[in-house]
């Protein structure tokens, strides 16, 4: 409470520093800055004087006005979307996700066909069997990534409201 009183005194502009009082920094959790104790109390508690040190006062953040509050800075209903506009946004999102899903499924089909059940055709630059095996592993990883991408797209589509005929 003493620290709060000191801060309030400093904020009010009637700083006790102007009156020549000493400000002490007392250790411990929490660290206490005060001018409300005597020199003997400060010595007993292990406090140090902070004369000449700059004091910074940080103002607490101002509370945001609530959405329903009558504030001149915000209009009523700001941030809310009309239901038709939201349906249009959902429809656009659905269309984009479905197109992306279709592309990913086509890419997966191509990769699966090239993969040929783990035995893809060897290329001319793969005379070394280790290179061939490396390519097979890369293909296996690419297929796993595509499958994960497809699953993620399906989850995102499931989050959207069902498509409505317009």
Rounded Cα distance, 8 and 15, in Å: 9
Residue 90 CB neighbour total at 10 angstroms: 16
Rounded Cα distance, 70 and 152, in Å: 42
Least confident of 32-36, 115-119, 148-152, 161-165: 161-165
User: What secondary structure letter does DSSP report for 61?
Assistant: P
Which range scores top for mean pLDDT: 72-81, 107-116, 117-126? 107-116
Rounded Cα distance, 84 and 86, in Å: 5
The 10s digit of each residue's pLDDT in 53-76 is 666 677 788 888 775 555 444 455
Which range scores top for mean pLDDT: 8-22, 32-46, 58-72? 32-46
Percentage of the residues of the chain whose pLDDT score is greater than 70: 75
């Amino acid at each position: 409470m003493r620290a709060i009183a000191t801060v309030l005194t400093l904020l009010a502009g009637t700083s006790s520093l102007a009156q020549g009082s000493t400000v002490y920094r007392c250790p411990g959790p929490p660290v206490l800055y005060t001018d409300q104790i005597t020199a003997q109390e400060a010595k007993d508690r292990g406090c140090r004087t902070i004369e000449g040190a700059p004091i910074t006062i940080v103002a607490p953040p101002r509370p945001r006005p609530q959405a329903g509050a009558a504030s001149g800075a915000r209009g009523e209903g700001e941030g809310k979307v009309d239901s038709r506009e939201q349906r249009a946004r959902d429809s656009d999102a659905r269309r984009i996700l479905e197109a992306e899903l279709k592309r990913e499924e086509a890419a997966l089909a191509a990769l699966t066909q090239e993969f040929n059940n783990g035995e893809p055709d060897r290329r001319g630059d793969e005379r070394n069997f280790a290179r061939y095996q490396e390519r097979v592993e890369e293909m296996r990883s690419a297929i796993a990534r595509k499958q994960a991408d497809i699953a993620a797209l399906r989850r995102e589509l499931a989050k959207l409201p069902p498509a409505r005929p317009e």
